[in-house]
Amino acid sequence: MYARPVRRLIKASLLSLIASFALLRPSSASAAEPQQDVADGSDNCRAFQEKNERELKAWEATQPPEKFQAQRPQTVLDAPWSPFFSWFGGNLDLVAATFIPHFGAQLRGPTPATTLSWPWSFSFGPYYACSRKVGTYGFVGHKVHQLMLEPAVVLGDLGIGITTRPGYRFLYHPTDWVVGFGGGVGSTLEIAGNREPFRASVGPEIVLHFGHCCERSYFTLALRYDYFVAGRENHILGASLGYTYF
């Protein structure tokens, strides 16, 4: 009964993977991008960050003092919208990663269901990969440990379902890899819909992390299995692809 839906899910995942590689294909413009100073490993990144901070302070010490200027209110239609729009325009990658959903598919019956999810990640621990553009002091790093919270909407034959998933994810992505990989574990909480009572699962996931470490902005492909003790559909497979900040 599940053979055909499983094939469809695998096919959709492969197409998503191919599309991600196409988006990351090197272009002629990439040769003109600034070179990077990089380091891998927690000890090397710690030393690199300390060196960057020393060099930044030394550079700041050579700069002339700034002339004092009175702060003038910046308003739009007599309201202080200007600082908000300035922040919004300078952080479009963070805004996109926060609000644009990940698109996916899920097997929770004889036919696949469509999923829209918003996986928010909170990195912690030491940096295991780090970089900065040559000639600058913009240190950025990648932390392999992440806490996850992923609200989602499930659209299928059984109706509209609302879920959320807290969990932990490990992502290994060295500076010279275009694709990082990792895994995680979590519990999907079905809050409403799908003709199921409130219930919780436990299950692992496999993750592919597409992008150039350690600049922000990646595409993440997640393949997941959930086991529910209660309810009718106890074994659920899922896959999703979307844009992430970390």
Tokens 């550079």 belong to: 59
- For each of the chain's 246 residues, which pLDDT tens digit applies? 444 544 555 554 544 444 444 444 443 344 455 588 899 999 999 999 999 999 999 998 888 887 777 776 666 666 666 676 676 666 788 888 889 999 999 987 777 889 999 999 999 999 999 999 888 888 999 999 999 999 999 988 777 889 999 999 999 999 999 999 999 999 999 988 766 678 899 999 999 999 988 888 899 999 999 999 887 788 999 999 999 988
**pLDDT given for residue 22 in this prediction:** 44
**pLDDT given for residue 26 in this prediction:** 42
**pLDDT given for residue 23 in this prediction:** 42
Q: Classify the C-alpha dihedral 61-62-67-73 as positive or negative.
A: negative
**pLDDT given for residue 27 in this prediction:** 39
The single-letter DSSP state of residue 32 is: G
**pLDDT given for residue 183 in this prediction:** 96
The answer to whether 93 touches 245, Cβ cutoff 8 Å, is: yes
- The pTM score is 0.76
Which stretches within the chain are classed as H helix?
3-23, 42-61, 82-90, 92-99
Which stretches within 91-223 are classed as H helix?
92-99
Please state the φ and ψ torsions of residue 86, each to the nearest 5 degrees: -65, -45
d(CA 170, CA 178): 17
CB neighbourhood size of 239 (10 A): 25
